[in-house]
Amino acid sequence: MKRPGMMIREVLGSFTKKPVTITYPALKVQMPDKFRGKIVYHAHRCIGCMLCVRDCPSEAIAINKIGEKRWEAIIMMDRCVYCGQCVDSCNKDALESSKDYELAALDKSTLTVDVNIDGPYPVAVPVADPPAADPV
Ligand code: SF4
Ligand code: SF4
């Protein structure tokens, strides 16, 4: 247990130290290279092999054919656990973990995006919710 004298010294000492926190969002932390943030899909590299869909533990990604050698990814950021498995599974470097960690949203529907060669946009038709858990 700390004695009162030690505690006072620590309190007074903290006045001369820099704070350990930052004034987010005014200041933002630069994430390290291997950080697993928002998933980025490069549609022009995708061959529709579905390995990412098969390996995703959260059913957070879907790949749809939208034309001759054209694919789109539906990415459900609210289901994603940012494990990076889809990135590892993709042999074509069509998926990438970005350093973007600012994923909070007031409207959950904005967290499901359709990404294709023309760019990302919110999905108009809501995707089905995951099945309800069995009652215990
Ligand atoms: S990062 Fe993990 S949870 Fe998210 S889409 Fe990829 S495999 Fe699924
Ligand atoms: S694993 Fe890569 S190439 Fe295969 S469907 Fe997914 S994103 Fe496309």
- From 41, 76, 80, the mutation candidate for ligand 1 (largest count of ligand atoms within 8 A of CB) is 80
Binding site membership of 83 for ligand 1 (Cβ less than 6 Å): yes
Cα distances (angstroms) measured from residue 11 to each of 5, 21, 23, 52? 10, 17, 21, 52
Residue bearing the CA closest to ligand 1, atom 3:
80
| pLDDT for position 20 | 85
Which residues are CB-neighbours of 8 under 8 A, at least 6 positions away? none
Average confidence (pLDDT) over 120-126 = 65
Fold of 31-122: Alpha-Beta Plaits (3.30.70)
Provide the pLDDT confidence category of residue 19 given band limits of 50, 70 and 90: confident
Per the prediction, the chain carries an average pLDDT of 88
Highest mean pLDDT out of 39-43, 106-110, 131-135: 39-43
Structure tokens at 66: 């939208």
Of 130 and 134, more confident: 134
CA of 66 to the centre of ligand 2 (A): 14
* Secondary structure class of 101 (helix, strand, coil): coil
Bridge partners (DSSP) listed for residue 40: 96
